[in-house]
Protein backbone atom coordinates (compact mmCIF):
# COMPACT_ATOMS: atom_id res chain seq x y z
CA UNK A 1 0.00 0.00 0.00
CA UNK A 2 1.35 3.43 -0.92
CA UNK A 3 2.45 5.86 1.78
CA UNK A 4 -0.13 8.42 0.69
CA UNK A 5 -2.93 5.99 1.54
CA UNK A 6 -1.39 4.68 4.73
CA UNK A 7 -1.16 8.20 6.11
CA UNK A 8 -4.95 8.43 6.35
CA UNK A 9 -5.74 5.05 7.93
CA UNK A 10 -6.03 5.37 11.74
CA UNK A 11 -3.95 2.95 13.77
CA UNK A 12 -5.72 0.57 16.20
CA UNK A 13 -6.69 2.40 19.36
CA UNK A 14 -5.96 5.83 17.93
CA UNK A 15 -8.59 8.53 18.52
CA UNK A 16 -10.88 9.08 15.55
CA UNK A 17 -11.11 12.70 14.40
CA UNK A 18 -13.76 14.25 12.24
CA UNK A 19 -14.78 17.77 11.30
CA UNK A 20 -18.21 19.34 11.03
CA UNK A 21 -17.32 22.58 9.30
CA UNK A 22 -19.29 25.32 7.61
CA UNK A 23 -18.58 28.58 5.85
CA UNK A 24 -21.20 31.23 5.06
CA UNK A 25 -20.18 34.16 2.87
CA UNK A 26 -22.18 37.34 2.28
CA UNK A 27 -21.36 39.72 -0.57
CA UNK A 28 -22.62 43.29 -0.93
CA UNK A 29 -22.25 46.19 -3.36
CA UNK A 30 -20.50 49.32 -2.06
CA UNK A 31 -18.52 52.27 -3.35
CA UNK A 32 -15.54 49.93 -3.23
CA UNK A 33 -17.28 47.49 -5.58
CA UNK A 34 -18.17 43.90 -4.67
CA UNK A 35 -17.13 43.39 -1.05
CA UNK A 36 -17.15 40.42 1.32
CA UNK A 37 -19.56 41.85 3.87
CA UNK A 38 -19.87 38.84 6.17
CA UNK A 39 -17.85 35.68 6.72
CA UNK A 40 -19.09 33.19 9.30
CA UNK A 41 -17.23 29.93 9.73
CA UNK A 42 -16.82 26.98 12.03
CA UNK A 43 -14.03 24.45 11.84
CA UNK A 44 -11.15 24.38 9.33
CA UNK A 45 -12.92 26.09 6.45
CA UNK A 46 -12.42 29.78 5.65
CA UNK A 47 -11.24 32.28 3.04
CA UNK A 48 -8.47 34.77 2.63
CA UNK A 49 -9.36 38.35 1.82
CA UNK A 50 -10.97 38.91 -1.59
CA UNK A 51 -8.65 39.61 -4.51
CA UNK A 52 -9.42 42.03 -7.35
CA UNK A 53 -7.18 41.24 -10.33
CA UNK A 54 -9.76 42.63 -12.77
CA UNK A 55 -10.99 45.64 -10.81
CA UNK A 56 -13.23 46.39 -7.86
CA UNK A 57 -16.45 45.02 -9.32
CA UNK A 58 -15.39 41.35 -9.38
CA UNK A 59 -14.21 39.63 -6.21
CA UNK A 60 -12.02 36.52 -6.51
CA UNK A 61 -12.36 34.26 -3.47
CA UNK A 62 -10.10 31.33 -2.54
CA UNK A 63 -11.66 28.64 -0.36
CA UNK A 64 -9.20 27.23 2.18
CA UNK A 65 -9.55 23.82 3.84
CA UNK A 66 -6.28 23.21 5.75
CA UNK A 67 -6.84 19.47 6.38
CA UNK A 68 -6.75 19.05 2.61
CA UNK A 69 -9.45 16.40 2.39
CA UNK A 70 -12.40 14.57 3.91
CA UNK A 71 -12.17 11.54 6.18
CA UNK A 72 -15.08 9.44 7.43
CA UNK A 73 -17.59 11.53 9.33
CA UNK A 74 -16.42 14.86 7.91
CA UNK A 75 -19.09 17.24 6.63
CA UNK A 76 -18.38 20.56 4.94
CA UNK A 77 -21.14 23.05 4.15
CA UNK A 78 -20.38 26.09 2.00
CA UNK A 79 -22.92 28.88 1.47
CA UNK A 80 -22.67 32.05 -0.57
CA UNK A 81 -25.25 34.85 -0.50
CA UNK A 82 -24.94 37.81 -2.86
CA UNK A 83 -26.62 41.17 -3.17
CA UNK A 84 -27.74 42.52 -6.54
CA UNK A 85 -25.10 44.01 -8.83
CA UNK A 86 -22.27 41.86 -7.44
CA UNK A 87 -19.92 39.54 -9.27
CA UNK A 88 -18.09 36.78 -7.42
CA UNK A 89 -15.63 34.14 -8.63
CA UNK A 90 -14.89 31.32 -6.16
CA UNK A 91 -12.08 28.83 -6.64
CA UNK A 92 -9.67 26.71 -4.59
CA UNK A 93 -5.86 26.78 -4.33
CA UNK A 94 -5.56 23.07 -5.06
CA UNK A 95 -7.39 19.80 -5.54
CA UNK A 96 -9.92 18.65 -2.97
CA UNK A 97 -9.60 15.11 -1.65
CA UNK A 98 -11.88 12.47 -0.23
CA UNK A 99 -9.76 9.83 1.48
CA UNK A 100 -10.35 6.12 1.93
CA UNK A 101 -13.36 5.51 4.19
CA UNK A 102 -12.96 3.85 7.56
CA UNK A 103 -14.32 0.31 8.02
CA UNK A 104 -17.63 1.66 9.35
CA UNK A 105 -18.16 3.38 5.94
CA UNK A 106 -19.38 6.63 7.52
CA UNK A 107 -20.13 9.19 4.81
CA UNK A 108 -17.75 11.97 3.80
CA UNK A 109 -19.91 14.90 2.71
CA UNK A 110 -19.64 18.31 1.10
CA UNK A 111 -22.62 20.52 0.26
CA UNK A 112 -22.51 23.85 -1.54
CA UNK A 113 -25.36 26.39 -1.67
CA UNK A 114 -24.94 29.36 -4.02
CA UNK A 115 -27.64 32.06 -3.92
CA UNK A 116 -27.42 34.56 -6.77
CA UNK A 117 -30.00 37.40 -6.99
CA UNK A 118 -31.10 39.38 -10.02
CA UNK A 119 -28.37 41.49 -11.67
CA UNK A 120 -25.65 39.38 -10.03
CA UNK A 121 -23.14 36.86 -11.38
CA UNK A 122 -21.44 33.84 -9.81
CA UNK A 123 -18.52 31.80 -11.12
CA UNK A 124 -17.93 28.56 -9.23
CA UNK A 125 -14.61 27.20 -10.51
CA UNK A 126 -13.01 24.86 -7.94
CA UNK A 127 -10.08 22.69 -8.87
CA UNK A 128 -10.65 18.96 -9.18
CA UNK A 129 -11.87 16.63 -6.42
CA UNK A 130 -9.91 13.38 -6.04
CA UNK A 131 -11.88 10.43 -4.69
CA UNK A 132 -9.37 8.00 -3.21
CA UNK A 133 -9.86 4.25 -3.61
CA UNK A 134 -12.65 2.95 -1.33
CA UNK A 135 -13.95 6.42 -0.40
CA UNK A 136 -17.62 6.80 0.53
CA UNK A 137 -18.83 10.27 -0.33
CA UNK A 138 -21.83 12.45 -1.03
CA UNK A 139 -21.19 15.71 -2.91
CA UNK A 140 -24.00 18.22 -3.51
CA UNK A 141 -24.06 21.50 -5.43
CA UNK A 142 -27.20 23.65 -5.23
CA UNK A 143 -27.41 26.85 -7.28
CA UNK A 144 -30.34 29.25 -6.75
CA UNK A 145 -30.65 31.96 -9.39
CA UNK A 146 -33.19 34.77 -9.38
CA UNK A 147 -34.35 37.06 -12.16
CA UNK A 148 -31.58 37.65 -14.67
CA UNK A 149 -28.78 36.22 -12.50
CA UNK A 150 -26.00 34.47 -14.40
CA UNK A 151 -23.86 31.49 -13.50
CA UNK A 152 -20.79 29.65 -14.75
CA UNK A 153 -19.64 26.59 -12.85
CA UNK A 154 -17.91 23.27 -13.14
CA UNK A 155 -17.20 20.07 -11.28
CA UNK A 156 -14.21 17.83 -12.08
CA UNK A 157 -13.98 14.49 -10.30
CA UNK A 158 -11.15 11.96 -10.39
CA UNK A 159 -12.15 8.44 -9.35
CA UNK A 160 -9.16 6.71 -7.76
CA UNK A 161 -5.49 7.55 -8.30
CA UNK A 162 -4.83 6.80 -11.97
CA UNK A 163 -1.26 8.15 -11.79
CA UNK A 164 -0.55 5.41 -9.22
CA UNK A 165 -2.61 2.86 -11.19
CA UNK A 166 -5.15 2.62 -8.38
CA UNK A 167 -8.81 2.57 -9.39
CA UNK A 168 -11.81 3.54 -7.26
CA UNK A 169 -12.03 0.00 -5.84
CA UNK A 170 -15.19 -0.58 -3.81
CA UNK A 171 -15.67 3.16 -3.34
CA UNK A 172 -19.09 4.76 -3.39
CA UNK A 173 -20.00 8.23 -4.63
CA UNK A 174 -23.27 10.12 -4.88
CA UNK A 175 -22.87 13.42 -6.75
CA UNK A 176 -25.44 15.96 -7.85
CA UNK A 177 -25.44 19.42 -9.39
CA UNK A 178 -28.71 21.30 -9.68
CA UNK A 179 -29.75 24.77 -10.78
CA UNK A 180 -33.03 26.51 -9.97
CA UNK A 181 -34.28 29.81 -11.33
CA UNK A 182 -36.86 31.59 -9.19
CA UNK A 183 -37.49 28.30 -7.42
CA UNK A 184 -38.05 26.28 -10.60
CA UNK A 185 -35.71 23.40 -11.30
CA UNK A 186 -33.94 23.99 -14.61
CA UNK A 187 -31.06 21.52 -14.55
CA UNK A 188 -30.17 18.51 -12.45
CA UNK A 189 -27.26 16.16 -13.01
CA UNK A 190 -26.64 13.17 -10.76
CA UNK A 191 -24.10 10.35 -10.76
CA UNK A 192 -24.26 7.44 -8.32
CA UNK A 193 -21.53 4.81 -8.15
CA UNK A 194 -22.17 2.01 -5.64
CA UNK A 195 -22.49 -1.76 -5.44
CA UNK A 196 -25.62 -1.60 -7.61
CA UNK A 197 -24.23 0.68 -10.31
CA UNK A 198 -20.50 -0.02 -10.41
CA UNK A 199 -20.80 -1.11 -14.04
CA UNK A 200 -21.16 2.61 -14.87
CA UNK A 201 -17.40 2.95 -14.44
CA UNK A 202 -16.75 0.92 -17.57
CA UNK A 203 -20.12 1.04 -19.37
CA UNK A 204 -20.69 2.89 -22.64
CA UNK A 205 -23.56 4.74 -20.97
CA UNK A 206 -21.27 5.63 -18.07
CA UNK A 207 -17.63 6.64 -17.72
CA UNK A 208 -16.39 4.26 -20.44
CA UNK A 209 -13.33 3.34 -18.40
CA UNK A 210 -12.22 6.94 -17.86
CA UNK A 211 -11.32 7.82 -14.26
CA UNK A 212 -12.02 11.57 -14.66
CA UNK A 213 -15.54 12.91 -15.08
CA UNK A 214 -16.43 16.56 -15.64
CA UNK A 215 -19.47 18.79 -15.94
CA UNK A 216 -19.55 22.47 -16.87
CA UNK A 217 -22.66 24.70 -16.88
CA UNK A 218 -23.14 28.28 -18.05
CA UNK A 219 -26.24 30.43 -18.38
CA UNK A 220 -28.95 31.19 -18.72
CA UNK A 221 -28.55 32.63 -22.20
CA UNK A 222 -31.35 34.37 -24.04
CA UNK A 223 -29.72 33.38 -27.30
CA UNK A 224 -26.47 31.57 -28.02
CA UNK A 225 -24.49 32.32 -31.15
CA UNK A 226 -23.79 29.27 -33.29
CA UNK A 227 -20.17 30.42 -33.53
CA UNK A 228 -19.77 30.12 -29.74
CA UNK A 229 -21.06 26.56 -29.68
CA UNK A 230 -18.91 25.66 -32.68
CA UNK A 231 -15.80 27.08 -30.99
CA UNK A 232 -16.32 24.89 -27.93
CA UNK A 233 -17.11 21.82 -30.00
CA UNK A 234 -13.87 22.32 -31.85
CA UNK A 235 -12.04 22.51 -28.52
CA UNK A 236 -13.66 19.23 -27.48
CA UNK A 237 -12.47 17.57 -30.68
CA UNK A 238 -8.81 18.57 -30.38
CA UNK A 239 -8.64 17.82 -26.66
CA UNK A 240 -7.60 14.31 -25.58
CA UNK A 241 -10.98 13.47 -24.06
CA UNK A 242 -14.48 12.25 -24.82
CA UNK A 243 -16.46 15.48 -24.62
CA UNK A 244 -19.63 17.06 -25.88
CA UNK A 245 -21.45 20.41 -25.85
CA UNK A 246 -25.23 20.77 -25.65
CA UNK A 247 -27.73 23.57 -25.09
CA UNK A 248 -30.31 22.70 -22.42
CA UNK A 249 -33.08 25.14 -21.49
CA UNK A 250 -30.86 28.17 -22.04
CA UNK A 251 -27.74 26.66 -20.45
CA UNK A 252 -24.59 25.54 -22.22
CA UNK A 253 -23.73 22.12 -20.81
CA UNK A 254 -20.34 20.52 -21.38
CA UNK A 255 -19.77 16.93 -20.32
CA UNK A 256 -16.33 15.38 -20.49
CA UNK A 257 -14.52 12.11 -19.76
CA UNK A 258 -10.75 11.90 -19.60
CA UNK A 259 -7.83 9.89 -18.28
CA UNK A 260 -6.19 13.01 -16.85
CA UNK A 261 -7.61 15.85 -14.73
CA UNK A 262 -5.12 18.38 -16.11
CA UNK A 263 -6.39 17.70 -19.62
CA UNK A 264 -9.95 18.33 -18.50
CA UNK A 265 -9.05 21.53 -16.66
CA UNK A 266 -7.39 22.86 -19.81
CA UNK A 267 -10.51 22.07 -21.83
CA UNK A 268 -12.89 23.68 -19.33
CA UNK A 269 -10.64 26.73 -19.03
CA UNK A 270 -10.65 27.22 -22.80
CA UNK A 271 -14.44 26.91 -22.85
CA UNK A 272 -14.70 29.38 -19.94
CA UNK A 273 -12.54 31.86 -21.83
CA UNK A 274 -15.00 31.69 -24.74
CA UNK A 275 -18.19 31.71 -22.66
CA UNK A 276 -17.36 34.50 -20.20
CA UNK A 277 -17.40 37.42 -22.66
CA UNK A 278 -20.62 36.15 -24.23
CA UNK A 279 -22.49 35.64 -20.94
CA UNK A 280 -20.92 38.17 -18.56
CA UNK A 281 -19.54 40.72 -21.04
CA UNK A 282 -16.09 40.39 -19.44
CA UNK A 283 -12.86 38.97 -20.79
CA UNK A 284 -11.48 35.94 -19.01
CA UNK A 285 -9.19 36.75 -16.08
CA UNK A 286 -7.80 33.57 -14.56
CA UNK A 287 -7.38 33.56 -10.75
CA UNK A 288 -3.72 34.11 -9.91
CA UNK A 289 -3.72 31.04 -7.67
CA UNK A 290 -4.08 28.85 -10.76
CA UNK A 291 -0.60 29.85 -11.86
CA UNK A 292 1.13 28.73 -8.63
pLDDT in tens, 159-203: 999 999 999 999 999 999 999 999 999 999 999 999 999 999 999
Residue 14 belongs to some domain of the structure: no
Residue 187 belongs to some domain of the structure: yes
Whether the predicted model's global pTM rises above the 0.85 cut:
yes
Return d(Cα 79, Cα 280) in angstroms, integer: 22
CB 129 within 8 A of CB 156: yes
Return d(Cα 131, Cα 33) in angstroms, integer: 37
Mean pLDDT in the chain?
92
Return d(Cα 217, Cα 222) in angstroms, integer: 15
- Kindly tell me if the per-residue pLDDT of 6 is higher than 70: no
Residue 240 belongs to some domain of the structure: yes
Residue 67 belongs to some domain of the structure: yes
Digit-coded pLDDT (tens) for 105-156: 999 999 999 999 999 999 999 999 999 999 999 999 999 999 999 999 999 9
Residue 230 belongs to some domain of the structure: yes
Q: Determine the structural domain holding residue 240 and report its residue range.
A: 19-291
Residue 228 belongs to some domain of the structure: yes
Residue 255 belongs to some domain of the structure: yes
Residue 12 belongs to some domain of the structure: no
Q: Please tell me the total count of domains within the chain.
A: 1
Return d(Cα 240, Cα 114) in angstroms, integer: 31
Amino acid sequence: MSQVLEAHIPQPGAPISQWQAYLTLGFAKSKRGTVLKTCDHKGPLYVQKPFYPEGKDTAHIYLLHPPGGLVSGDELVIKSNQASDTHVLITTPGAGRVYKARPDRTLQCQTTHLHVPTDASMEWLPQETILYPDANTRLRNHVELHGNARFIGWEITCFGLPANRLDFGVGQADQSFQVRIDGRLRLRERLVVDEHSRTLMAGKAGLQGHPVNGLMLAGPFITVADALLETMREQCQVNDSVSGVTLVDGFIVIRSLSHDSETMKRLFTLCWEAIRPALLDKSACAPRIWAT
